[in-house]
């Protein structure tokens, strides 16, 4: 057992301490967080827009929303990332992480749109009728009455989408970004050790998601308390 722990400590030192390789993981955490935060913001904006299209009575808007949702949900995220990076933004000199965030935001928007649509449709129609009886038009009723209530209903699902998005960003190495996963792969290829880099990468993702889950849970509890009051 002592020999096993000694070997484990040696592997840890080789993987993370020697040549300051832990700095790659720290930098990778920063890349993952930046891409995820920007992507989720883009995804929410696109998601709300596509949800409105899907619920619209306008056939053109509804068709646009349907095609977008079907195409994005029906193709792999890694393929979307590579098309957006190597084709759509091939001639654009933007930082790689911004283009990656846009790609993930576009992907996330399709799933967020379904979450938003379901949340809005879950609100009792009486709320809409009450708004109209107060003299509010359709847009004012939607923005002032329906959506604020829907947000409380869809918040847990949006949180889950954010968590899934963080894990999906592990493929940004395909476009040359050094995120957490790519840093772990680099350490693995440099040291010819697989166990420690893989476990280290998994632990980092777990801790990040655990912290995020606890933070979002507190926000959700605050929303519930305000709703009760």
Taking only the tens place, the pLDDT of each residue in 16-61 is 998 899 999 999 999 999 999 999 999 999 999 999 999 888 999 9
Residue % of the chain over a pLDDT of 70: 91
Alpha carbon distance 103, 97 (integer Å): 10
pLDDT digits (tens, 9 = 90+) for 102-147: 999 999 999 999 999 888 887 777 666 666 666 666 666 777 777 7
**Torsion angle of C-alpha atoms 223, 168, 28, 220, degrees rounded to 10:** 10
Does the pTM surpass 0.85? The reply is: yes
Burial 104-121 (b: 16+ CB within 10 A, else e): bbbbbbbbbbbbbbebbe
Please give, one letter per residue, the 3-state secondary structure of 148-193.
HHHHHHHHHHHHHHHHHHHHHHHHHHHHCCCCHHHHHHHHHHHHCC
Q: How many CA atoms lie within 13 A of 190 on its CB side?
A: 19
* Cβ atoms of 6 and 165 closer than 8 Å: no
């Amino acid at each position: 057992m002592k020999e096993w722990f000694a070997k484990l400590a040696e592997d840890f030192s080789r993987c993370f301490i020697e040549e300051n390789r832990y700095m790659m993981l720290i930098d990778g955490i920063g890349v993952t967080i930046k891409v995820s935060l920007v992507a989720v913001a883009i995804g929410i904006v696109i998601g709300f827009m596509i949800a409105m299209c899907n619920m619209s009575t306008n056939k053109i808007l509804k068709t646009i929303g349907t095609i977008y949702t079907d195409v994005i949900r029906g193709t792999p995220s890694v393929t979307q990332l590579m098309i957006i990076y190597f084709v759509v933004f091939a001639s654009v000199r933007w930082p790689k992480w911004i283009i990656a965030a846009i790609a993930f935001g576009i992907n996330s928007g399709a799933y967020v749109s379904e979450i938003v649509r379901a949340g809005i449709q879950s609100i009792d129609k009486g709320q809409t009728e009450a708004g109209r009886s107060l003299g509010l038009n359709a847009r004012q009723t939607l923005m002032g009455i329906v959506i604020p209530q829907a947000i409380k209903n869809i918040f847990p699902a949006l949180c889950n989408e954010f968590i899934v998005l963080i894990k999906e960003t592990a493929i940004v190495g395909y476009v040359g970004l050094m995120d957490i996963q790519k840093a772990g792969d680099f350490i693995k290829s440099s040291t010819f050790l697989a166990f420690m880099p893989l476990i280290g990468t998994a632990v980092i993702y777990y801790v990040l998601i655990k912290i995020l889950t606890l933070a979002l849970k507190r926000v959700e509890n605050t929303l519930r308390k305000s709703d009760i009051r």
